[in-house]
Structure 1
Amino acid sequence: QTLGAWTAAEQGARFFRNIANENTTSYRQLIVHEVMGRNCGWLTARTAFDYRQSLHEYDWLPEALLHNARWDLDAVWVPELEFDFDAEVERLRRKMDEHDSVNIFLSEGAGVEAIVHQIETETGESVPRDAFGHVRLDEINVGNWFANQLRGRLSAEKVLVQKSGYFARSAAPNAADLDLIVRSAAHAAEGALQGRSGVAGLDEDNGGEMNIIPFPKIKGGKPFDHTQAWFRDMLGEIGQPLGKPVTVGH
């Protein structure tokens, strides 16, 4: 468990709670929430889950068009799962016709290869990459790309693309992360005194218990485990088909 990840998900959900209120300002509104995380969709998925949980705190007033369906999510797109874009457009158009709004949580790494291919094919120029060969996501604006593809096909009257990255990253740690920080620091000190090498943290291979984890096990590039029940249940609840697994590069 990465320090700060729980806080980032909580803050991203808080960010979108405010943004979602914009759906009362116009007809046929599309909101795309682009979430940081590059090619790992965990933060997008967890932020979506936390946001949907927070909707239980609202006192809805359907007769004033303040009902859960307009604030709920309609799609959660992560890099680790393939999705049929044309089929999704048809599904989301039905949502737009029914609820007058569509809310999408989009991982900044979702669909990047297809976007890069289209840009390079149309322009004949290479998309900028960083020193490690990674596509510079700020150069291709994933959220804007998807919004532009969806605007006409959903007949959206208003389109908002919002990024919660800086908002989430600048937040103070929440109670769960503070507890994890204290426990990790104490366990790291104990491990150092014992001459053990690694990183202190919650170990999935050790029942989620605190452990000194060997460096090779925590190297970057770990994909989001989309087989987890909470994620699959969420997709089922919003009516999104479970796509085929995708092996993503890091």
Structure 2
Amino acid sequence: MEKMGRNAIVGQSGGPTAVINSSLVGVFQAAKSRGAQHVYGMRYGVKGLLEEQVVDLSDTLRDNLDIEILKRTPASYLGSCRYKLPVPAEDPALYEKLFGILKKLDVGYFFYIGGNDSMDTISKLSDYACMTGSDIKFMGVPKTIDNDLMNTDHTPGYGSAAKYIGAIMKEITRDSLVYGTRNVTIVEVMGRNAGWLTGAAALAKAEDCEGVDMICLPEVAFDIDHFIERLDVLQRAKAGVVIAVSEGVRVHDGRYVCELTEELGPVDAFGHKTLTGAARFLANKAVRELGCKARAIELSTLQRCSSHMASRVDITEAFQVGGAAAKAAFEGHSGEMVGLRRLSNDPYQCTTELHDIHTIANFEKKVPGEWITPDGVGVTQEFLAYMRPLIQAELTPIYVDGLPRHIYIK
């Protein structure tokens, strides 16, 4: 068995979030406190590592102020990628190259912050390490606004994105009622196969807001005719109708609604289709069939990195899972991901625990059927009780000249 290196390396992968850099800080500080001489950062994930694009984080994070600003900086400080590693048997030379780079850097601890596809990367690398006798420790750190990772109550990134969705839906509702004339607003929310984020639209309903009128999740087969019938009733009864629809809603034959626009983009390295246009398709159909005024809003990337209203709970837990991953690796764990386990809702308490990466990679956690209302266009009080603790409190940005201050690698 090769001797374990003294250094650590960390990368960020997949879509960014408002709190992914807090996890990076958690890994960095915990690894340094446990004796790592250097904590390297992969520029642009494992793809960048294969090109030896690496920085020493001690050179870029020079003091405590840099650390505090980084916690509040959205998106991926190190850069990201969507790069699918082949299985080792298909391209052993690639793995030999990658492990050669790690050996040159004297790396003993490898951390990858990301979602499902990133956990696939950790699974393959840890398996290869076992096959070849390498004692490098590989740990997954959860991140995704989609909240679809298995074996964790929720994922860092989700709480802040849900907070943004709840707030923006309140604002859209207020806007829809300004003129007192009948209108329909259909808001497209991210979520390929799981409706966790779209379900956050239900947070808008409160004593100060009427809330949205329909919530369409990918867990429920989408019936376009039934949707138009329901919309017809709604728009005749009230002035402003607001609907949240997941980008990943599918009709009964399995096609995404956005595919009906014939505007679907390319697929990524993991075979995921670029989804966009569901709200636009439905708004145009409403105009044609109902003769009503309708508009589509695609929140797109805005919902991923709204750090100006990030959840303090989310930022804190993102930091904690990063630190827990480093602690576990330095204690000898590998091929695992840190999960969050909820202990109670009131008061809200959550702890970290470890899970075998093979029970997480390439699986998806969907919204439970019992958390969707019987009519298929809403969510239950259980779903709301699940979400509310995750959006609590704020970590105010550090403002300079009236705007939030961010940090980036120059």
Which TM class, normalised by the smaller chain length?
Answer: 0.7 to 0.9
Q: Does 1:135 align with 2:273?
A: yes
- Give the superposition deviation at 1:14: 1.2
Q: Does 1:19 align with 2:172?
A: yes
Q: Does 1:148 align with 2:284?
A: yes
Q: Does 1:40 align with 2:194?
A: yes
Q: TM-score, normalised by structure 2?
A: 0.46
Instruction: Point out where structure 2 has 5 or more consecutive residues left out of the alignment.
Output: 1-153, 343-349, 380-410
Which amino acid letter does the alignment assign opposite residue 165 of structure 1? S
C-alpha change, 1:126 and 1:209, in structure 2 (3 Å) is: closer
C-alpha change, 1:209 and 1:142, in structure 2 (3 Å) is: same
- Return the alpha-carbon distance in structure 2 between the equivalents of residues 129 and 72 of structure 1: 35
Greater relative contact order, per chain length (Cα 8 Å cut-off, separation 6+): 1
Which amino acid letter does the alignment assign opposite residue 12 of structure 1? I
- Name the residue aligned to 1:217: 359
Q: What root-mean-square deviation, in Å, do the aligned CA atoms of Structure 1 and Structure 2 show?
A: 3.1
Of 53, 58, 76 in structure 1, the residue corresponding to residue 215 of structure 2 is 76
- Name the residue aligned to 1:161: 296
Instruction: Point out where structure 1 has 5 or more consecutive residues left out of the alignment.
Output: 59-67, 239-250
Of 202, 206, 229 in structure 1, the residue corresponding to residue 340 of structure 2 is 202
Which amino acid letter does the alignment assign opposite residue 166 of structure 1? T
C-alpha change, 1:202 and 1:100, in structure 2 (3 Å) is: same
- Name the residue aligned to 1:31: 185
- Return the alpha-carbon distance in structure 1 between the equivalents of residues 377 and 188 of structure 2: 21
Residues 127-164 of structure 1: CA deviation (Å, up to 9, x unaligned): 643344332224xx12101111122333312x221122
**Greater C-alpha Rg:** 2
8 A contact 1:30–1:160 mirrored in 2:
yes
- Return the alpha-carbon distance in structure 1 between the equivalents of residues 250 and 378 of structure 2: 23
8 A contact 1:9–1:43 mirrored in 2:
yes
- Name the residue aligned to 2:373: 232
Which amino acid letter does the alignment assign opposite residue 167 of structure 1? L
Larger helix proportion of the pair: 1
C-alpha change, 1:98 and 1:105, in structure 2 (3 Å) is: same
C-alpha change, 1:165 and 1:215, in structure 2 (3 Å) is: same
- Name the residue aligned to 2:130: none
C-alpha change, 1:143 and 1:223, in structure 2 (3 Å) is: farther
C-alpha change, 1:163 and 1:228, in structure 2 (3 Å) is: same
8 A contact 2:264–2:273 mirrored in 1:
no
- Return the alpha-carbon distance in structure 2 between the equivalents of residues 237 and 109 of structure 1: 16
Q: Number of matched residues?
A: 214
Which amino acid letter does the alignment assign opposite residue 109 of structure 1? G
Q: Does 1:104 align with 2:243?
A: yes
C-alpha change, 1:152 and 1:220, in structure 2 (3 Å) is: same
Quick one: percent identity of the two aligned structures?
Answer: 25
